[in-house]
């Protein structure tokens, strides 16, 4: 996303020289296609006021900012855009490949970290459910924590489901039975 000026033509030429397939357009679009692996964006005054939802989308492709000068406003814009790298305008061949590699590597690393964090969150949620189910079994069956876990584990193995599913069932059954007991007392 760069104006079709001499600098834009030089950027396209340099990208094609290193083997990239390039699709250029200006002004930046409010909509964005998933067909791109990487986005170069000329950070110009008209971009600063742009409200493109795709820029804040987590699935947005890595962005490399192309800046003509540095000042606090441009630096802030580059940060707000979530740029993975910056290249100076006028565009030169030096540093372009490095910026591409750094941007793509940073994006892949972020995806890997986000995936790892999601797995940890899921694991923590499972542990909380199992802990709650153990507490229910300990209270209702008057058994130890270890015995409660063994009950959950044995049920999961015999029914060929996860311990989380058994923990869910124990919690729901307890809620139903507790609710029924409360309404029966009324």
- Which one is predicted more confidently, 115 or 79? 115
Query: Is residue 3 predicted with pLDDT exceeding 60?
Result: yes
| CB within 8 Å of 99: residues ≥ 6 apart | 64, 85, 86, 87
pTM: 0.61
Is 45 exposed, middle or buried (CB count within 10 Å of its CB: 0-12, 13-18, 19+)? exposed
Report how far residue 83's alpha carbon sits from residue 17's, in angstroms, rounded to the nearest whole number: 23
Report residue 49's pLDDT band, with 50, 70 and 90 as the boundaries.
low
d(CA 167, CA 150) in angstroms, rounded, equals 12
pLDDT, mean over the chain:
83
Higher pLDDT, 130 or 184: 130
Please tell me the predicted confidence (pLDDT) of residue 78: 79
Domains of the chain: 6-94 (3.40.50.2300), 115-185 (1.10.10.10)
**Quick one: DSSP state of residue 33?**
-
């Amino acid at each position: 996303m760069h104006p079709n000026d001499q600098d834009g033509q030089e950027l396209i030429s340099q990208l094609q020289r290193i083997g990239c397939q390039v699709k250029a357009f200006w002004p930046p679009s409010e909509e964005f296609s998933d067909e791109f692996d990487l986005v170069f964006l000329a950070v110009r005054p008209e971009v600063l006021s742009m409200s493109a939802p795709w820029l804040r989308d987590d699935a947005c492709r890595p962005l490399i900012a192309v800046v003509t000068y540095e000042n606090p406003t441009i630096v802030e814009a580059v940060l707000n855009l979530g740029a993975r790298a910056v290249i100076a305008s006028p565009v030169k061949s030096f540093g372009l490949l490095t910026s591409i590699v750094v941007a793509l590597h940073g994006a892949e690393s972020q995806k890997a970290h986000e995936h790892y964090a999601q797995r940890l969150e899921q694991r923590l949620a499972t542990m909380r459910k199992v802990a709650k189910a153990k507490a229910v079994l300990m209270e209702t069956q008057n058994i130890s924590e270890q015995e409660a876990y063994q009950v959950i584990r044995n049920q999961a193995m015999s029914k060929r489901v996860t311990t989380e599913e058994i923990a869910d069932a124990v919690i729901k059954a307890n809620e139903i039975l507790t609710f029924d007991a409360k309404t029966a007392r009324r």
